[in-house]
Structure 1
């Protein structure tokens, strides 16, 4: 096995949350202390209505919501799952892969509502991008931030395997993004005048087009990581398949959640380890 170091750049907010029994409740059990949330002030969170918080992955068990004390991390299994997508169009091979957890600085975590494009298939309501359950806050890694990249390590049999995984993930991601652009176009064309703030949806579509041009067409390795990507970005579809999918959007970057780029560190070599 060889050790390979890689860098992750967060393009849009990243959500990886443990089971719901780890949630914190503002009124039910008083596990959310007001002093921990009173200074939260951002356009993507309705503080007054906040009742439940779903935390990002963290080491240990906490009885109350204390983000300043938490040890946040991206599970290595999440990275492994994103790299070994079983729905790839290209032939899969037997891959030996282990991935370490990646620790995250506390100041990279933000608390926000989930934003969703709602009423897509309801002919009687206007389609709109707005908070989905505005009493629920979700911790996430902030996207497009200036705090640099995250560093991770994986272990596999050769650099050839790593290059295969990245190429394959890049291929699948481009297919998913192109399909989502088409899906958003379909929403715009089908609902037309029945869209509230149509420019919000157009902005998401335009940002995805720019991302393809700036990232995927320049041989950078882009992939979806974590949750709340929506079904359309979670599975591989054949060209003739259509799907009605929930569309969750990062209200800051106006992109789907979980878009990250992964690039290998320049100092990697093929030294085998025991």
Structure 2
């Protein structure tokens, strides 16, 4: 067995990341509490009917939703799960609360490709629920530990990410066939076309650059096609980061 070594890296989300502890119940909030929080901080983007908040990972236990006092972090085990290797481990990464925002979750529904008449609809998934997310464009510093070559481990992780994105693109292309011949502007069509273009650009960037950075897919609400690599076509919901027109959870790991 090789000696374990420590390596520094940066984590750069391309889209919002959702990491919420399953064992922790959501916070029940009333309108007065939510309006106070929303008025104090402009980072929050959600409907006014929110009653339930699913928090990002945070140290300690809280009886009430108090984002200003929360100590947020990304569990090292979550990054390890995204990389998908037992040969590497990660420390937790502390996250400044200024990089956490509360958002509604958007889901593309009615996406069966075997029905030409049924058009997909993009809408808020459970309007009374909001989820804390890590903002895209954030740069976080972390440490990983491995006795192997970290480049090889991260290259394998990136290849799996690439395969998953290709699955999602195949699903998006099948959905877009429903709109052939439509000349009018349709919100769902426009978003999917932009999402397709961005993913294709990202895949080209992965294959044509060697900048010591590797794409992983981190966190939840990614949709079935980004949860694994399947031998056959996988249907399932598509959750969309509507601000970035990308799936949730896309992030670069860059070795220093």
TM above 0.5, yes or no, is: yes
Q: Does 1:177 align with 2:165?
A: yes
Deviation at 1:21, TM superposition (A): 4.1
| 1:264–1:42 Cα change, 3 Å | closer
**SS of equivalent residue, structure 2 residue 203:** helix
Q: How does 1:207-218 map to 2 (within 5 A)?
A: 207-218=198-209
Q: Does 1:187 align with 2:175?
A: yes
- 1:243 pairs with one of 224, 229, 234: 234
Could you list the per-position Cα deviations for residues 206-251 of structure 1 after superposition, in whole angstroms to 9, with x for gaps in the alignment?
Answer: 111111223443133111011111110011112xx11111110111
Q: State the match for 2:56 in structure 1.
A: 56
**SS of equivalent residue, structure 1 residue 66:** coil
Residues matched between the structures, number: 246
Q: Identify unmatched segments of 5+ residues in structure 1.
A: 86-94, 266-274
Deviation at 1:258, TM superposition (A): 0.3
Deviation at 1:10, TM superposition (A): 0.7
**Is the 2:57–2:72 Cα contact (8 Å) retained in structure 1?**
yes
Q: State the match for 1:77 in structure 2.
A: 77
Q: How does 1:1-274 map to 2 (within 5 A)?
A: 1-19=4-22, 21-27=24-30, 32=33, 34-39=35-40, 44-46=45-47, 48-84=48-84, 95-121=86-112, 123=115, 125-143=118-136, 145=137, 147=138, 149-158=139-148, 160=149, 162-190=150-178, 192=180, 196-197=186-187, 198-219=189-210, 220-238=213-231, 241-265=232-256
Relative to the length of structure 2, the TM-score reads 0.88
**SS of equivalent residue, structure 1 residue 166:** helix
**SS of equivalent residue, structure 2 residue 240:** strand
**SS of equivalent residue, structure 1 residue 38:** helix
Deviation at 1:139, TM superposition (A): 0.3
Distance 1:189 1:138 in 2: 32
**SS of equivalent residue, structure 1 residue 255:** coil
Deviation at 1:121, TM superposition (A): 2.0
Deviation at 1:22, TM superposition (A): 2.5
**Is the 1:170–1:216 Cα contact (8 Å) retained in structure 2?**
no
Relative to the length of structure 1, the TM-score reads 0.82
Distance 2:83 2:75 in 1: 13
| 1:98–1:51 Cα change, 3 Å | same
Distance 2:59 2:121 in 1: 37
| 1:59–1:202 Cα change, 3 Å | same
Could you list the per-position Cα deviations for residues 83-128 of structure 1 after superposition, in whole angstroms to 9, with x for gaps in the alignment?
Answer: 125xxxxxxxxx4433110000111001100111111128464312
Could you list the per-position Cα deviations for residues 184-219 of structure 1 after superposition, in whole angstroms to 9, with x for gaps in the alignment?
Answer: 0101114655x9421111111111111122344313
**Is the 1:14–1:141 Cα contact (8 Å) retained in structure 2?**
yes
